[in-house]
Amino acid sequence: MTAIGETPALPLNLHEYEAAARELLSPMALGYVSGGSCDEVTLRANRAAFDRWRLLPRVMRGLRETSTATTVLGQDVSLPVLIAPSGLHRLAHDEGELATIRGAHGACTIHTLSTASTVPMDIIGQEGPPWWFQLYVFSDRGISRDLVEQAAAAGASALVVTVDVPLLGRREADERNRFSLPDGLVMANLQTPKHMLIPATEGGSGLRTYIGAAWEPALTWDDLDWLASLSPLPVIPKGILHPDDAVRAFDHGARAVIVSNHGGRQLDSAVASLDALPAVADAVAGRGEVLLDGGIRRGTDVLKALALGARAVLIGRPVYWGLAVGGEDGVRHILELLRAELALDLMLCGLASPAEVTRELLVRADTPVTR
Ligand SMILES: Cc1cc2nc3c(=O)[nH]c(=O)nc-3n(C[C@H](O)[C@H](O)[C@H](O)COP(=O)(O)O)c2cc1C
C-alpha cells in the first residue's frame, strides 16, 4: 500500500499495467476490453504463439548502442510499435482518444483512430500528424464516404479498413454485461443519434445489435478499390490471415496489410496472428509492408514479429491499461517500456536496429539449433 504523500511506483511492464487496470476499469469496460470471443481459444493462441519461438543471439559484435527507430509507409517512428485502432477510449479515461494520441506522439509513434472513437476526429487532427484513421464500412455508403473524406481533411495519413467484422464475434462478456455505451459517451465521428449511441438492448450486447444493424456485412475486394478512390490516403486492410487474401489486397491497391484476428475477438479458433504472418510475408514478397497485431506485450514479441516478416506491430488492449492507469502519461509509458525492452533485446541479440532483424534470429522452441 502507498503511504500518503508517497508516489505510487509505476508498473514495471505491460503485465503490471494490466493488473493495475483491472482494479480501475468498471466491470462493463473490463469485459469489453479484456474479452475475446466464445472460448477465447484465439485470444490465448495469440500469446502462446510467441512462446513457441526462441531467439538465437550473436555476440562480440562491438555494439555500443542500438536504435529502435524505423519507418512505416515512409513515416518515421521511434519504435516499430503503433497503436491499433480500438473503440470507446473514454470508457478507460475521461480524455479518451485525445489522451491516446498525445501519448503516442509523446513516444513518437502513430495512433490509429477508430471509427468508434469517443472524441471527434477534428479534435484529434488538431494534435497534428502522424495519425491514421480506421474505417468500419457502413451499409449506408454515404456514411463511409463522409468518414473517409473527414479523415483526409482532418489530416490522417493512412486509411485502415477493417475487413474481419462482417458480423460481431460472439463476445460473451459483453452479452453477460449487456454492454451499452454509458450516458454522456457517444461515437463522436458519426452524425445521427442512431449511429452515435449504443443503447442497451433486451438481453445481450448492445454493441452486437448496433453492428448487425449498421455495418456492411457483404464487403468484396471491389469495395477496397472504391475506398481507395475516395481520397489520396494509402489504404491498409486490417484483419488478413490467409496469404491469398494478402495478395488480393495488393492486387486491389493496398499499400500495406495488417495481419490480425482482431485480438481474438472475432472468429474463435482462428489461427494466431503470429502463426499466419510468415506465409503472408512470403506471399506478399515485398510488394508492400506487412504489419501485425495480437498479443504483443514485450520487446521480444516485437523482435519475433519482425523476424517473421512484419515491418512493425500494433498494440490494442495495453492502450486501455495505460489510459486507465495514467491517461496520456500511461499510454506514453507503455510505449516507452516497449521501446526500452526492444532496445535492450536488440543489444542482447547483437543487432543495431530493427533493419538488422532477420529470420535467422529465430529457432523453434522444441527444435535444437542446427548449423
Ligand atoms: C477493446 C477493443 C476494441 C477494439 N476496437 C477496434 C476497432 O474499433 N477497430 C478495429 O479495427 N479493431 C478494434 N480492435 C482490435 C484491435 O485493433 C487489435 O486488432 C487487437 O486489439 C490486437 O490485439 P491485442 O489487444 O492483443 O494487442 C479492438 C480491440 C479491443 C481489445
**Would you tell me how many other CB atoms lie within 10 Å of the CB of residue 200?**
13
Place of cell 491469398: 244
> DSSP for 261-303?
-GGGTSSTTPPPHHHHHHHHHHHHTTSSEEEEESS--SHHHHH
Residue 98: its H or E element: helix 96-106
Residue 225's alpha-carbon distances to 172, 181, 228, 230, 231, in angstroms, are 35, 33, 5, 9, 11
Residue nearest ligand 1's atom 6 by CA: 86
- Enumerate residues 6+ apart whose C-beta is below 8 A from 141: none
The predicted structure's pLDDT at residue 170: 95
Residue nearest ligand 1's atom 28 by CA: 86
**3 state SS of 161:** strand
The predicted structure's pLDDT at residue 5: 65
The predicted structure's pLDDT at residue 4: 66
pLDDT tens, residue order, the chain (371 aa): 456 667 678 999 999 999 999 999 999 999 999 999 999 999 999 999 999 999 999 999 999 999 999 999 999 999 999 999 999 999 999 999 999 999 999 999 999 999 999 999 999 999 999 999 999 999 999 999 999 999 999 999 999 999 999 999 999 999 999 999 999 999 999 988 888 988 888 878 888 888 888 899 999 999 999 999 999 999 999 999 999 999 999 999 999 999 999 999 999 999 999 999 999 999 999 999 999 999 999 999 999 999 999 999 999 999 999 999 999 999 999 999 999 999 999 999 999 999 999 999 999 999 999 98
Q: What is the Å distance from ligand 1's center to 360 Cα?
A: 30
The predicted structure's pLDDT at residue 203: 79
Please give the number of the atom of ligand 1 that sits closest to the Cα of 47.
Answer: 26
Closest alpha carbon to 257 in 312, 295, 300: 312
Which three three-digit cell numbers place residue 329? Answer: 502519461
The predicted structure's pLDDT at residue 3: 61
Please give the number of the atom of ligand 1 that sits closest to the Cα of 317.
Answer: 25
Domains defined along the chain, listed by start: 14-354 (3.20.20.70)
Residues with CB under 6 A from ligand 1: 32-33, 46, 84-87, 114, 116, 134, 162, 238, 260, 262-263, 265, 293-296, 315-317
Please give the number of the atom of ligand 1 that sits closest to the Cα of 293.
Answer: 22
Cα–Cα dist 102/98, whole Å: 6
Q: What is the Å distance from ligand 1's center to 84 Cα?
A: 6
Closest alpha carbon to 319 in 154, 129, 113, 121: 113
The predicted structure's pLDDT at residue 191: 85
